[in-house]
Amino acid sequence: MSNLPAFHIVIPARHASQRFPQKMLADLAGKPVVQWVYELALKAGAESVTIATDHEDIFSAAEGFGADVVMTRTDHENGTERLAEVASLKGWSGDEIVVNVQGDEPLLPIGLIHNAVQALADDKESEMATVACPIHREEDIFNPSVVKVVCDAKGRALYFSRATMPWDRDGFAQSPQQIAEDYPALRHVGLYVYRVSLLGRYAQMPMSPLEKWEKLEQLRFLHQGIKVQVALTKELPPHGVDTPEDLAALTKKLMTQ
């Protein structure tokens, strides 16, 4: 995209993980997981790529493979707070754009990053953007692990939920768990793009009741009336590294390419 606006990438790399402790440094086909993500991010054409961590081991490893790495506080609740600290430390202006690329997504398509950045740049009223794709499997609509999003006429998020939404009152009454072809919910993909000005206000936003119940941090923004543009992609991106089993499967895939 030759007309893509300038943007920064920050990779939050937390050491602790409930399902897979120390996964950022786990060996993936000869390199740490976070190094794969960093090298992928370098190809996206960002103004800068920064790893933001809270642990000396990740900091040292990142320095070792030549990354720009920042040590952040250990008390952040989520990656958004870590991004806000990095933006402050770097002195980025409020109108600059920052992409949160998860440190466990070594196969994230670069096109997805570009689409989300462009979506935010094209919508002057929105302060952040995210990504969604069609839901191809009916069982995903009823799966609480699959986060759904519904959008307004301008492509902005109306609500995110783990629940089945919207509820097809007549259709579900006749044929439970049968989804109509025009069912409007999309599957949320956890890639976020922010204007720096929003990150600067995030730390002062209290957790919303919606976020508390759904365990979805993006609901904090909707609760505060912040507009969230949703970029569309056709397919769900490749799975990241959430568990040791994911690591083994991804290693096998990379070794055979």
Residue ranges of domains in the chain: 7-131+188-256
* Nearest residue to 231 via CA among 180, 184, 202, 193: 193
Mean pLDDT of 220-230: 97
- Is 90 exceeded by the pLDDT of residue 67? yes
Give the model confidence (pLDDT) of 81-123 as tens digits: 899 999 999 999 999 999 999 999 999 999 999 999 999 999 9
Report the run of H or E that residue 12 belongs to, with start and end.
strand 8-13
Quickly count: other Cβ atoms within 10 Å of residue 59's Cβ. 20
Give the model confidence (pLDDT) of 179-218 as tens digits: 888 899 999 998 999 999 999 898 789 999 999 999 999 9
Mean pLDDT of 118-145: 94
Quickly count: other Cβ atoms within 10 Å of residue 114's Cβ. 17
Second-level CATH architecture of 7-131+188-256: Alpha-Beta Complex (3.90)
> What CA–CA distance (Å, rounded) separates 172 from 142?
12
Q: Give residue 213's Cα distance to chain centre.
A: 20
> What CA–CA distance (Å, rounded) separates 59 from 188?
31
For the question of whether the overall pTM of this predicted structure is more than 0.85, the answer is yes
- Is 70 exceeded by the pLDDT of residue 1? no
Task: Give the pLDDT band (50/70/90) at residue 40.
Answer: very high
> What CA–CA distance (Å, rounded) separates 232 from 229?
10
Give the model confidence (pLDDT) of 156-172 as tens digits: 999 999 999 999 898 88
What residue spans of the chain are helical by DSSP H? 33-42, 56-64, 79-90, 110-122, 138-141, 169-174, 196-202, 209-214, 218-223, 244-255
